[in-house]
Structure 1
Amino acid sequence: MFKKCGSFTIWGHIDVVYPKNIQIGEGCSINHGCYLNAYNPIYIGNDVTLSANVSIISTGIDIKAWMSQKKGDKHIKNEGVYVGNHVWIGANSLILSGVRISGEYVVVAAGSVVTKDITESYCVVAGCPAEVIKYLNRQ
């Protein structure tokens, strides 16, 4: 189903669009209600948790193409979404197209909207748009 996947667990029902564009690493957990739209690629690293109702959407509408009213594909084409290792995405969060979460041990707080790259490690990001609100102690 997916382009490439390691060992992961799905808890409940999830919705997936374009599964051939999704790569999932080892030890991941995807919870009920998640929505993955991989028009452009979605890469999920190792030890990633997607809590209930998380949405990862790797595309959007090209506003110029939409306004021109031309027929055909109006999706934005880009590198997609990258979620690195040891990331926990809280319930009801949204990760938008073009975002890279390259830091490790990142917690995306519940209800957050991630619109730009997260390069920091050992941190909590929250809000709309999400930004670092706290740093975690390294164990």
Structure 2
Amino acid sequence: MTQRSKAPVVSLARAPGERAAWNRPAAVVYLWGLCELLFVTNPLQISSGLRVRVLRLFGAEIGRNVIFRPRTRVRFPWKLHIGDDCWIGEGVWFHNQDHIYLGHDVVISQESFLTTGSHAHRRDMGLLTRPIHIEPGVWVTTRSIVLGGSRIGRSALICPGTVVSGDVPANAIFGTAAGTVLGQRFE
């Protein structure tokens, strides 16, 4: 018997329920899902102001002059906090099972993914959440991923396609814009 076959398997049938992060009655969560589909995720070039108003209606704290492009997703608007003069690019996904805080003048570029949740993968696959803090002046460039527990310092720039896990110092250019050879495909 190989070591691989002796590895334990976490029973997903016994994993804790998915509603652990809702913090609202089911009816509110389902109503939000419908409104998100119609007004926020909608790919049509409807008003950014309309998106912001709908998000605020469901508890998002959004400052003045925030631009929200189409195809944006927000898991729980009541856990989203955005400062003044921010730009949220097309296709950004706030998978915020915990709170996400953006300071003023922050840019989150196209197709970036901010997620506050993970799972207790060695125990029972229960939900684990940690907030994300992004300080003023930060630019998270296209297709970056920011994980729960991360803090990005004032005026930092996250390079395209970077995964952020932990702290990024203020004014840093973080990540690698160039690819790196990790090995050979064929030996």
Shorter chain as denominator, the TM-score bin is 0.7 to 0.9
**1:80-119 correspondence to structure 2 within 5 Å:** 80-101=131-152, 103-118=153-168
What is the DSSP-based 3-state SS (H/G/I as helix, E as strand, rest coil) of the residue aligned with 1:36?
strand
TM-score, normalisation: structure 2? 0.60
2:63 paired with 1:6: yes
Q: 1:113 is matched by which residue type in structure 2?
A: V
Deviation of 1:116 (Å): 1.3
Structure 1 residue 19, shift from structure 2 partner: 1.1
TM-score by length of 1: 0.80
Aligned match of 1:35: 93
Deviation at 1:11, TM superposition (A): 1.9
Q: Distance in 1 between the 2:129 and 2:89 partners?
A: 27
**Larger Rg belongs to:** 2
RMSD over aligned Cα, in angstroms?
1.5
SS across alignment from 1:65:
coil
| 2:128 maps to 1:76 | yes
Which runs of no fewer than 5 residues in structure 1 stay unpaired? Answer: 67-73, 128-139
Q: After TM superposition, where is structure 1 displaced by more than 4 Å over at least 4 residues in a row?
A: none
Distance 1:36 1:12 in 2: 13
> Higher helix share goes to which structure?
2
Q: Distance in 2 between matches of 1:113 and 1:45?
A: 20
Report deviation, 1:3.
3.0
Where do residues 45-84 of structure 1 align in structure 2 (5 Å cutoff)? 45-63=103-121, 64-66=123-125, 74-78=126-130, 80-84=131-135
1 or 2 for the larger relative contact order (CA 8 Å, sep ≥6)?
1
Give the secondary-structure state (helix, strand or coil) at the position aligned to 1:43. Answer: strand
Kindly state the Cα deviation for residue 123 of structure 1 after the two structures are TM-superposed: 1.7
In structure 2, stretches of 5+ residues that fail to align are 1-54, 177-187
Alpha carbons 2:129, 2:148 under 8 Å: kept:
no
